[in-house]
Amino acid sequence: MGTKPTTDGQNAPSETTAPAETGTPESAAQTTLPPHGTESPPAIVNSGPDSGCSASPVPLATPDAAGGTEPASIRDVATLPTDDPATVNASAQPAVATAATQWLWIGKRGRLPPVPARITQQPTEIPVQVPDTVVEWADLRGLSIRGLSIRGHGHRYEGSVRQDQIALGEIGEKSLVCCAVADGLGTQPASHLGAAFAARLAASWPRAETLLTAQGTQFDCSEISAALQSEAQQRGLDPETVSTTLTFAVIARDATVGADGIPHWQVAVAQIGDSHAYRLRSGRWTALTKHDGAAESLSNVVEPLPRYSRASVWHLDMMAGDVLALTTDGTGNLLEDQPEFALELASCWQQSAPSPSALLRVLDAAVKSYDDDRTFLAIRFEAVP
């Protein structure tokens, strides 16, 4: 969690450090909303032949009931919920089109594709070295998982380490998948350690299994808080110095087919701090977690672990074609503020889960004043024959 973006760009010394090829060309198609009553939605066009993302149109939100159009912001591609945790209404129909991810094969095609077919069991110990970028991915039956945690352009400019982290795990005798993202507080010197430990612990936490059936809108994460404090003390650190946000999702691996004949997956999301979850459905991003809008984006005040241990909880119903994304604020702010970024990211997921390289090209785009670490961990729910 680094400096929040400003409108004047004064906190953006790193805008010259990102590779030129990661930026979005000025010639990319501009996003416009159709006039009221127009049948065809606007489209986003692939930025180049090497992007790996779909060039097919991504539908935007329709004009409002009064006949006008909303401001050019994430509200073009997302609907923001109320601040109170609640069960999210899944009445909108998803885009169920699914296509196999295309890989580069050289020579005779082998039996094993590059994508992992299972989740790797990781240790909970905190690594000493913090790499610039981390990739997590797997294709399970009905679930395509892609995750990237990228050092922000500001941290690259300063030569400081990435403070975000992602983790995948299996719980409930491998009947549940747990995905986690964490964002260490930029004001704390050891927050990268806290983020790494909290994410890994949450992804393998046996008690997280009860999150799917938990009642109410709060979930007690005091075990994670206590473990994080203990880890800090063992290293001779003040627990405050490892402060981090944590958002994690528990996903039932097996879908149930409802009366509508469509497979549904039960998902629960828990949030401590300001790392958010979004759903992509029919090309439209929807914020799922507690969201304070503009006030949040202008504030550096969060309620992190280990001081705070009560998570807000949302129970979701996901359908084939949906994408659930967990993000830190470095990515969430871009989704909220930059429609072009939101559309580029949506296009990557339109027909299938993207390759990590295609996803990296979008997530690591050079955007003036948006220099924080960027983490994005997403699951595409696939129709299984």
Instruction: Tell me if 177 sits within 8 A of 251, measured CB to CB.
Output: yes
Q: Which residues contact 66 (CB under 8 A, 6 or more apart)?
A: none
Instruction: Tell me if 363 sits within 8 A of 99, measured CB to CB.
Output: no
The encoded tokens of residue 347 equal 């296009």
CATH of region 47-63+70-98+122-381: 3.60.40.10
- At 154, the amino acid letter reads G
Per-residue pLDDT tens, the chain, 385 aa: give them: 655 454 343 443 333 333 343 333 333 333 333 333 333 333 323 333 344 564 443 333 333 333 333 333 333 344 444 444 444 444 445 544 455 666 677 777 777 777 777 777 766 666 668 999 999 999 999 999 999 999 999 999 999 999 999 999 999 988 999 999 999 999 999 999 999 999 999 999 999 999 999 999 999 999 999 999 999 999 999 999 999 999 999 999 999 988 888 889 999 999 999 999 999 999 999 999 976 644 444 445 689 999 999 999 999 999 999 999 999 999 999 999 999 999 999 999 998 999 999 999 999 999 999 999 999 999 999 987 7
According to DSSP, the residues that pair with 167 across neighbouring strands are 180
Report helix, strand or coil for 53: coil
User: Which residue, among 97, 102, 172, has the nearest Cα to 382 in the 3D structure?
Assistant: 97
Q: How far is CA 363 from CA 148, 182, 245, 374, in A?
A: 8, 17, 20, 7
Is the model's pTM score more than 0.85?
no
- At 367, the amino acid letter reads V
The encoded tokens of residue 183 equal 């964002």
Domain spans of the chain, in order of start: 47-63+70-98+122-381
According to DSSP, the residues that pair with 285 across neighbouring strands are 280
Instruction: Tell me if 79 sits within 8 A of 342, measured CB to CB.
Output: no
